[in-house]
Amino acid sequence: MIEFDIGLIKKYDKPGPRYTSYPTAPHFTDKFTRQQYLAEIISSNKGDSNSSNNDKGNSNKGNPLPDISLYFHIPFCDTLCYFCGCNTIISKNRTRIAEYVDYLKKEIAIMLPHINNTRMVTQIHWGGGTPTHLNPDEIIGLQSYINSSFNIRDSAEHSCEIDPRGLTKAHLEALRETGFNRISMGVQDFNPEVQKSINRIQSEELTRKVAGWVRELEFESLNLDLIYGLPHQNCKEFERTVKKIIDINPDRIALFNFAYVPWMKSHMKLINRNAMPSPEEKLNILKMAIEKLTANGYEFIGMDHFAKPDDELTIALKEKKLYRNLQGYSTNAGADLYAFGSTSISQLGNIYAQNHKEEKLYYEAIDRAELPMWKGYMMNEDDKIRRHVIMKIMCDFELDFDAADNYLRIDSRRYFAIGINKLKPMIDDGLLTLDSRRLVVSGRGRMMIRNIAMCFDGYIERQQDHNRYSKTL
């Protein structure tokens, strides 16, 4: 059971990575080449890539090659949400949007000859931006092309992020028709004053209507996103939103901490910083929300994710099969992630590869029949060792030293001596227990899981990371 201690949370609330990747994106470099990327694709096609994507086993029992996860970035939005940290393009130009969809298909066509066509796709995710800013015909056209291009497992997870504003039932029907079975919808907060302050007006009535459509069309899962730390939020008012979310009864809930980073996202300067809740009130909001959600049947998965007891995430957590990638917590362990679209990031074998951010450069590379890669990272042996250990801690909330030694062929207690020594104050505070066999995170420590994982981060240990990240809570 998670235990919320405000005093300890204040003590450990400092900037740190979210560890959707290791090393993290700030370490990607334009010195990483397309030749390195292609070499890793070829290696993964042979099944001999030394990939920690396969740390927890390949789900494709009948095929020695890693399964595939596909991500498609749709950057377009109708309006600018002031809180948003994603890579977006605000546009109502349908010609521009249609052109981008065509280039996505061209990028797929460039990538396909490099991927072994016997490999199975077990997960497809559309993110943004707002994928449903495409019209229903564009949704059908793009996903039908994807379906005909890849070898997709019947049981594959197809998920899409939606914005109910401007959404029609036809959008959801198009998604369902082409195989989508999971929907994720942003809510943030039902308070009109909060919505106005972040330029996202979305009524409770509209949210409930769209949730009803999702169920009527028999999607398998609905996730709703909330954000705490926004202007004009307080514990009492946000509790009203949480109660309404519980009543809507989604399968999963994400409760994100608002990362105020105007030096990275200049539009956040439009937010009235003086109206944001104090650090104390922000923690009270978080405490209340966690207590309400867990008291009403939701399991705390980790960091900011909650799910019902019979959800795949909950089952994977209990069976120690949970995985973490660039989309967050996942059950899709063992798959190589191929990402398409501007700014998207692929993760396979020993590398990360990110596409161009600017439309012009993205299009120009595709017109040259090149993979539109901008920068990336090739992991060294230390990176691979630390990634394995950090992901075990983040996903299993424990680390078995003997198992790590056998898998990594190291003496992990000696290898991580500096990090283990850093754990002493956390042990004294009851965040974890540590003996010669294993590290186990306590219910109290689960809220500080990023802080615990940071003790095993080589870049932090070598003091190479400063002022790169938002606070951990």
| Tokens (6 digits) for 470 | 């938002």
Which of 320, 340, 360 delimits the end of a domain?
A: 340
**Residue-level pLDDT at 299:** 96
Co-location of 310 and 425 in the same domain = no
**Residue-level pLDDT at 325:** 86
pLDDT in tens, 241-290: 999 999 999 999 999 999 899 998 999 999 999 999 999 999 999 999 99
Structural domain including 426 reads: 1-23+381-473
Is there a domain that residue 360 lies in? no
**Residue-level pLDDT at 470:** 56
Co-location of 30 and 167 in the same domain = yes
**Residue-level pLDDT at 53:** 46
Co-location of 56 and 14 in the same domain = no
Co-location of 174 and 134 in the same domain = yes
pLDDT in tens, 26-78: 999 999 999 999 999 999 988 654 444 444 333 444 447 899 999 999 999 99
**Residue-level pLDDT at 220:** 97
**Residue-level pLDDT at 374:** 96
pLDDT in tens, 385-427: 999 999 999 999 999 999 999 999 999 999 999 999 999 999 9
In this prediction, residues 338-367 reach a mean pLDDT of 96
Please state, rounded to an integer, the average pLDDT across all residues of the chain.
92
**Residue-level pLDDT at 110:** 97
Least confident of 96-105, 188-197, 463-472: 463-472
Is there a domain that residue 146 lies in? yes
**Residue-level pLDDT at 56:** 39
Co-location of 388 and 292 in the same domain = no
Q: Token match 């109206």: residue?
A: 275
pLDDT in tens, 138-148: 999 999 999 99
**Residue-level pLDDT at 46:** 81
**Residue-level pLDDT at 13:** 86
**Residue-level pLDDT at 283:** 92
**Residue-level pLDDT at 463:** 81
**Residue-level pLDDT at 54:** 43
Co-location of 56 and 67 in the same domain = yes
Which of 275, 309, 340 delimits the end of a domain?
A: 340
- The pTM of this model reads 0.92
**Residue-level pLDDT at 303:** 85
Co-location of 169 and 156 in the same domain = yes
Is there a domain that residue 351 lies in? no
Q: How confident is the model at residue 464 (pLDDT cuts 50, 70, 90)?
A: low
Is there a domain that residue 369 lies in? no
**Residue-level pLDDT at 469:** 56
Pick the more confident residue, 281 or 1: 281
Co-location of 29 and 17 in the same domain = no
**Residue-level pLDDT at 93:** 96
CATH number at residue 423: 1.10.10.920
pLDDT in tens, 288-331: 999 999 999 999 998 899 999 999 999 999 999 998 888 888 88
Pick the more confident residue, 150 or 52: 150
Is there a domain that residue 163 lies in? yes
Co-location of 186 and 320 in the same domain = yes
Is there a domain that residue 254 lies in? yes
Q: How confident is the model at residue 468 (pLDDT cuts 50, 70, 90)?
A: low
Is there a domain that residue 29 lies in? yes
Is there a domain that residue 385 lies in? yes
Co-location of 60 and 12 in the same domain = no
CATH number at residue 88: 3.80.30.20
Count up the domains in the chain and report the number. 2
Co-location of 172 and 75 in the same domain = yes
In this prediction, residues 165-180 reach a mean pLDDT of 97
Does the pLDDT at position 429 exceed 90? yes
Co-location of 401 and 331 in the same domain = no
